[in-house]
């Protein structure tokens, strides 16, 4: 219907069919798609049908509609990995694998694209060509990052050099879709994460405001995971730390984790039907925590963190070799890894009270729903 603006052409009105990667917007030849936040703060494509030419490109590039979702067909290999530098380990979420891989790309004159905080502590994808810029991407950020404008910038960088792209599995599938069939893909190294789910940017904004109100000042810095506690799975949802401007000390607060991990009320609708919860990945390499390594191989455990590496492609195998001097690496059996990493087997389920939670947020604000 011409003259009407709606959101149903790409994902057919079912929000579980949209992961928010934004490749439909980036690929639209008429630039009539805009990724726009809904009432939960998640981005969805809004199409201006007055100027849409019904070419169907948006649907064809959607990784959730593409058969296979741009995932690899072969069987991967699994490795534990720990960086040899204690300093790197202390500034990494787990075992420092991202630093090792990105050091290789930067050392070749390449660039790194990953999740960063902007000046307002929103989570956005940025591109860096220096170690200092890369370091801002090192720690986990449990909010869906904003990918708008990233695809064109990636294309510019890939025309000059190698680029490491890191993101959630669905974001990596979107990037693979965008460069599918392009000679630029030769310079692209894609590294995904094992993702629990992506929390709402709206809840993150409300939570930041709440912390600032309670503390009487602006947030200066946040850390979603802290190594105040030894690296173990039981400690992985502890240690959300924040610092207020003008203060030296970090404070700890567990309410965001409670919503994200324990109550499970703030994830994107598509996460409940995630197409990427298996060992076939839409990436060259997968990075995660190597949970359970203390049980299976105690000699490989490090209280500062152990990474899991999943090698998915020949590019990934070459990268494993390239980082072997920087990391202590040991191959692990698939059964061991899948036993500990549930998101390699199935997505998480939403609680029945998810709708009630969001209704309370809309009616009375986040504080009343905590």
> pLDDT by residue (tens digit) across 230-243?
999 988 877 799 99
Percent of the chain with pLDDT over 70: 96
Tokens read off for 124: 């956005």
Q: Measure the CA–CA gap between 35 and 112, rounded to whole angstroms.
A: 24
Task: Please write the tens of the pLDDT for every residue from 50-68.
Answer: 999 989 999 999 999 888 8
C-alpha count within 13 angstroms, C-beta hemisphere, residue 147: 29
Q: Measure the CA–CA gap between 79 and 191, rounded to whole angstroms.
A: 15
State the DSSP string of 70-87.
Answer: T---SPPEEEEEEES-HH
Task: Please write the tens of the pLDDT for every residue from 152-192.
Answer: 999 999 999 999 999 999 999 999 999 999 999 999 999 99
Token pair 């490109």 is found at: 57
Q: Residue 349: pLDDT above 90? A: yes
Q: How confident is the model at residue 211 (pLDDT cuts 50, 70, 90)?
A: very high
Output the pTM of the full model: 0.95
Q: Residue 108: pLDDT above 60? A: yes
Q: How confident is the model at residue 2 (pLDDT cuts 50, 70, 90)?
A: very low
* Spatial CB neighbours of 182, under 8 Å, sequence gap ≥ 6: none
Instruction: Kindly tell me the burial class for residue 185, based on how many C-beta atoms sit within 10 Å of its own C-beta (0-12, 13-18, 19 or more).
Output: middle
Q: Residue 151: pLDDT above 50? A: yes
Q: How confident is the model at residue 12 (pLDDT cuts 50, 70, 90)?
A: low
Tokens read off for 112: 């790194």
Cα–Cα–Cα angle for 64, 338, 62, rounded to 5 degrees: 5
Q: Mean of the pLDDT values across residues 22-42?
A: 95
Q: Residue 128: pLDDT above 50? A: yes
Q: How confident is the model at residue 4 (pLDDT cuts 50, 70, 90)?
A: very low
In the chain, the domains with their CATH numbers are 5-61 (3.30.70.20), 71-370 (no CATH)
Q: Measure the CA–CA gap between 9 and 221, rounded to whole angstroms.
A: 40
User: Across the chain, what does the average pLDDT equal?
Assistant: 94
CB–CB of 193/288 below 8 Å? yes
Which value, in Å, is the radius of gyration of the alpha carbons in the chain?
20
Task: Please write the tens of the pLDDT for every residue from 328-343.
Answer: 999 999 999 999 999 9
Query: Is residue 257 helix, strand or coil?
Result: helix
Tokens read off for 52: 């849409």
Q: Measure the CA–CA gap between 114 and 138, rounded to whole angstroms.
A: 9
Task: Please write the tens of the pLDDT for every residue from 286-322.
Answer: 999 999 999 999 999 999 999 999 999 999 999 999 9
> What is the structure's pLDDT at 66?
87
357, 359, 363, 364 alpha-carbon torsion, rounded to 10°: 0
> What is the structure's pLDDT at 364?
96
Q: Residue 255: pLDDT above 80? A: yes
Q: Residue 228: pLDDT above 50? A: yes
Token pair 């030296």 is found at: 248
């Amino acid at each position: 219907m011409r003259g009407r603006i709606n959101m149903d052409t790409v994902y057919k009105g079912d929000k579980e069919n949209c992961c928010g990667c934004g490749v439909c917007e980036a690929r639209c030849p008429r630039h009539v798609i805009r990724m726009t936040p809904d009432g939960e703060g998640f981005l969805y494509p809004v199409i201006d049908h007055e100027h849409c030419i019904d070419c169907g490109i948006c649907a064809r590039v959607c990784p959730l509609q593409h058969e296979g979702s741009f995932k690899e067909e072969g069987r991967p290999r699994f490795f534990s990995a720990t960086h040899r530098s204690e300093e790197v380990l202390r500034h990494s979420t787990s075992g420092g694998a991202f630093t090792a891989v990105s050091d290789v790309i930067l050392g070749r004159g390449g660039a790194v694209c990953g999740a960063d905080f902007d000046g307002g502590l929103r989570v956005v994808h940025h591109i860096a060509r220096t170690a200092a810029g890369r370091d801002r991407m090192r720690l986990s950020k449990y909010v869906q990052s904003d990918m708008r404008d990233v695809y064109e910038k990636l294309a510019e960088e890939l025309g000059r050099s190698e680029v490491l792209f890191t993101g959630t599995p669905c974001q990596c599938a979107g990037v693979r879709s965008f460069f599918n069939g392009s000679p630029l893909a030769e310079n692209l190294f894609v590294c995904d994460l094992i993702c629990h789910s992506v929390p709402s940017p709206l809840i993150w904004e409300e939570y930041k405001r709440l912390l600032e109100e309670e503390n009487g000042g602006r947030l200066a810095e946040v850390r979603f995971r802290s190594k105040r506690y030894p690296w173990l799975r039981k400690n992985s949802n502890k240690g959300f730390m924040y610092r207020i401007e003008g203060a030296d000390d970090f404070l700890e607060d567990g309410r965001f984790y409670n919503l994200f991990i324990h109550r499970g009320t703030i994830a994107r609708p598509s996460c409940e039907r995630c197409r990427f919860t298996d060992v076939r990945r839409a990436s060259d390499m997968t990075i995660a925590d190597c949970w359970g390594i203390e049980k299976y191989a105690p000699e490989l455990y490090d209280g500062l963190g152990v990474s899991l590496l999943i090698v998915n492609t020949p590019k990934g195998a070459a990268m494993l070799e390239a980082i072997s001097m920087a990391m202590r690496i040991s191959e692990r059996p698939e059964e061991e890894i899948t036993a500990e990493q549930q998101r390699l087997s199935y997505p998480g389920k939403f609680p029945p009270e998810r709708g009630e939670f969001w209704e309370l947020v809309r009616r009375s604000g986040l504080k009343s729903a905590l």
